[in-house]
Chains A and B, each alone.
Chain A
Amino acid sequence: MNEITTIRPSTPKDWETDQEVRWCPGCGDYAILKAVQRTMPEIGATPENTVFVSGIGCSSRFPYYMETYGFHTIHGRAPAVATGVKLANPDLDVWIITGDGDALSIGGNHTMHLLRRNLNCQVLLFNNEIYGLTKGQYSPTSREGTRSPSTPFGSVDHPAKPCAFALGAGARFVARGIDVHKNLPSVLKAAHAHQGTAFVEIFQNCIVYNADVFEPFTAKANAAENQLWAEDGKPLLFAGGTKGLALDLDTLTLKVVEVTGGDWQAAGVIVHNVRNRSLAHLLVEMPFGPFPMALGVLYDDPAPTFESAVVAQNRAVSEGKKPDLQKLLSKGQTWTVG
């Protein structure tokens, strides 16, 4: 294409492919796809510089539906493939699409190392607490007692907490969203704006094998009481501002406090600071039930990215060296015959 094309802002439609979307009717993945397609124009992304890399599972079909470059890889390995992509071409905008089994079970090792290295990319982990594509076995995030074909009497192992795992692995950006929630695009925008690995856990409803498992906080009737949308610089309030999170100085844990008349300061409600790693740990460890579900950007404190460090070192050690292979071949102690 040599002719000059007028650059016009893209629309969500520009990010759709000609492929028929094949998730179950009512699957939360549809809403996430829409949210991503809506977000792309707003962040000024260009399709040719965008690469979606996925593993295996229902969520990992995602790249086929995005009009970008896409690589549907193998189970659990998307972070490793993405690392190669990004190191080979740091200019590409890389999104990793994964699920709870893909990222935390078979691919847990790669997820950990991606996060500690801090490759500049976005990780969208669709957490539905179940293996959907293999027909309903319990997953590493399933709650204890989950009955599934492989655990007919209920699962007995303790679930992994994706955001706590991410923080523990050294993540510099941790956020949560809900598939159908209107705030999802703003979470995705923040993730994209972050330089480094941006880890986003998206609660995604599997309508067939684990329907409504997140109802206690996603259902309309429960939302206000049980969703806490954290915003940087603002008090951690929920239930329409009538409750908040404060620090229990005796136990160094969070506690729910009542806020009367909007006076959150008097109630000791903490102001959210996305650069406060200790607070992030407290928020992701909060047990749901006695506490609300913390959502939005929980932690965002950028650090140098892996690929920039690799590129900088490659450049620094190559400086002033002439890559003369013939000379390299003749290096060391040599002798001449004839």
Chain B
Amino acid sequence: MATATDTLSPAEAQASPSPEAVVVRFAGDSGDGMQLTGGQFTLSTALAGNDLATFPDFPAEIRAPQGTLFGVSAFQINFGSSEIDTAGDAPDVLIAMNPAALKTNVEALKPGGLIIADEGEFNQRNLDKAKYDANPLEDDSLGKWQLLKLNISQLTLDAVKPYGLGNKEALRCKNMWTLGLALWMFDRDRAPLVDWLKAKFAKSPVLADANIAALNAGHAYGETAELGAMGITQRHVVAAPAEPGLYRTVTGADAIALGLVAGAQLASLPMFYGGYPITPASAILHALARLKEFGVTTFQAEDEIAAVASALGASYAGSLGVTCSSGPGIALKTEAIGLAIMTELPLVIVNAQRGGPSTGLPTKTEQSDLYQAVYGRNGDAPVPVIASRSAADCFDCAIEAVRIATQYMTPVMLLTDGYLQNAAEPWKVPDLSSYEPFPVTFHDQAPAEGEKFLPYARDNKLSRPWVKPGTPGLLHRIGGIEKAQGTGNIDYSPRNHQAMTDTRRDKVLGIAVPDQEIALGEEGSDLVVVGWGSTYGPIHQAVRRARARGLSVSQLHIRHIWPLPANLGSLLKGYGKILVPEMNTGQLKTVLRDQYLVDAQPLNKVSGQPFTIAEIEAAIEGAIG
């Protein structure tokens, strides 16, 4: 996202969407390998120099019963030659590998859009499972779209026949046949995919050869089948202009992992990661578990509580303690986060949010844990909260979380979500030397004779000293019971608790947070759209389009949720109206109203799907149109 440097012309803004962008959705059974197909198509898109954004959408079940509506797995990619910030509102092309995939996805397709369906899978059994009374490929129910029905199953079986695979294994190559056709449609180079297949099936060359044959066959089909007669032509989407530099694709999960490692290096600390498997946060644990040579110790704990408690123990012993989870796991960690607040130790907690409450929607995205992050603990328990807005932004946000945690001796909550975790986007590889290091100095000077070490003495940031056990002359005890100012001894006295509560609050409120920048537009317009987290993309595009049409609207996107930027209140008060789109029932809206007494109006969506640009544009129109 946002690697493209050009901006929308008014004409482009009128078009919906911008003409140089194409949205493709791959949909199939969860066993059909759609995520893999989408991932590889993404890579090919990135290598072609297009800007892109993706949206993987898959069921919570690992292998849902075959052919069922709830077992459909989809992967959407939006790519183009201008700035792409979202995975696209409506697909131009839908690839449906079976009836269930068609049924659950076709309504999203643009009128006139192209359906490519594997008619080999449209048998009675599958039609029944998808609850179709009649075969939609045979009647005119798909009349408003272009339909290309191909027996992909048979074409794949023919293509891989020389390799002697069993029927089941042979059919597994269907996704590569489909990918081959998609590569032809968008004039893509097959070579990187062939390399990837060779590496993936290095241990089983026959599978590599079969998959490559399927890929080539799909591509050849496009070239030779004279699809042009059906109005289907090869499209070449030119590369998006982007800042010079080295690029790769990155998911939020990978960017968090890399950012945490970078943060630990900038702080000159070893990292200890305590985690417990949970969707969609586990990918961070998987990534870090491979990076031991960077001084990373990963520990898969017995539960969420042990994950955070061990991370806190490691921080106490002088490492950077990190834990990641999703809402339900964060709930379990809450008491230990309170202990980190009380003992004033650094700790980074990443919450990859998902739909809730309770188990909720494990694989769907939502941003409904803002209250939990800002307010969700017993006692007056302030925690700094940061939210990343895109996969690439996760890298900088992770570094920022480490900086605040170590400089202010505090737990820090970093919010991402299911969408950011899984979605891939091009990323300009950052130059590490451009980041200012913030090395931690452990306190190791024993007090002079007759003086006592004060573990709760404060520096000018109200931060207390960090002492590693093992340091002579600085023995002390800490814990969850209220501490006396200075000595840290147990102290329940009224005056002390008041003072310590005030200090903990002031320390967090005093964190140096950059001033709020205007993402798009200017001060004082008729409307400001205020967002946080992964809604950046659709808000940004919607505001751009509205501005291009002459509407007086601006965009603010808040990274520092707590404490909020010092200038935010006055900035907000300068706008005519305030609209806050969120994938929850209005949590940031409530915080803004509470903090600034402003009339922030909500725009809410909790369907497990990101906002579309059109939804936000409509709300802008509704407010000031």
Contact = CB atoms under 8 A, between A and B. Distances in A.
Interface in A27-74: 47-49, 51, 53-54, 56, 63-64, 66-74
B53 interface: no
A331 B255 CA distance: 12
A82 interface: yes
* Interface class of chain B by DSSP: mixed
* Residue from B249, B272, B293, B429 with most neighbouring chain A CB atoms (10 Å): B293
B432 A325 contact: yes
B317 A84 contact: yes
A89 interface: yes
A276 interface: no
B47 interface: yes
A83 B292 contact: no
B293 A89 contact: no
Contacts of A85: 313-314, 316-317, 469
B54 to A, nearest CB: 15
Contacts of B291: 328
B490 A89 contact: no
B477 A314 contact: no
Contact of A337 (B247, B258, B446, B473): B247
A63 B247 contact: no
Nearest to A52: B477
Contacts of B244: 336-338
A88 B319 contact: yes
Contacts of A69: 469-470, 475-477
B305 interface: yes
Nearest to A53: B313
A145 to B, nearest CB: 32
Interface in B323-379: 335-336, 338-339, 343
B318 interface: yes
B293 A317 contact: yes
A77 B305 contact: yes
A54 B313 CA distance: 12
Interface string B238-278: 00001111111100000000100110010000101010000
A334 interface: yes
B293 A81 contact: no
Contacts of B261: 325, 328
Interface in B423-451: 429-432, 445-446
Contact of A329 (B274, B317, B429): B429
B478 A89 contact: no
A69 B445 CA distance: 16
Interface residues of A, number: 61
Nearest to A317: B292
Contact of A109 (B46, B248, B303): B303
Interface in B482-519: 489-490
A87 B272 contact: yes
B445 to A, nearest CB: 8
Contacts of A325: 258, 261-262, 265, 294, 432
A110 interface: yes
Interface in A295-325: 310, 313-314, 317-318, 321-323, 325
Interface string A97-114: 000000000000110110
Contacts of A260: none
A71 B244 CA distance: 51
A322 B311 CA distance: 26
* Residue from A54, A77, A91 with most neighbouring chain B CB atoms (10 Å): A77
A112 B318 CA distance: 26
B321 interface: yes
B310 interface: yes
B440 to A, nearest CB: 14
Contacts of A318: 292-293
B166 interface: no
Contact of B313 (A17, A68, A88, A330): A88
B625 interface: no
A336 B472 contact: no
Contact of B477 (A64, A75, A81, A331): A64
A335 B247 contact: yes
A72 B314 CA distance: 15
Given A74-B336, A325-B261, A329-B432, A83 B317 contact: no
A282 to B, nearest CB: 29
Contact of B470 (A1, A87, A92): A92
B282 interface: no
A252 to B, nearest CB: 33
Going nearest first, the 4 A-B pairs with the smallest beta carbon separation are: A338-B244, A84-B313, A72-B479, A84-B310
30 contacts: A1-B472, A17-B477, A49-B469, A69-B470, A69-B475, A70-B476, A72-B479, A74-B339, A77-B305, A80-B301, A80-B305, A80-B313, A84-B321, A85-B314, A85-B469, A88-B315, A89-B470, A92-B317, A92-B469, A109-B306, A314-B297, A318-B292, A325-B265, A329-B432, A331-B248, A333-B43, A333-B46, A335-B49, A337-B242, A337-B244
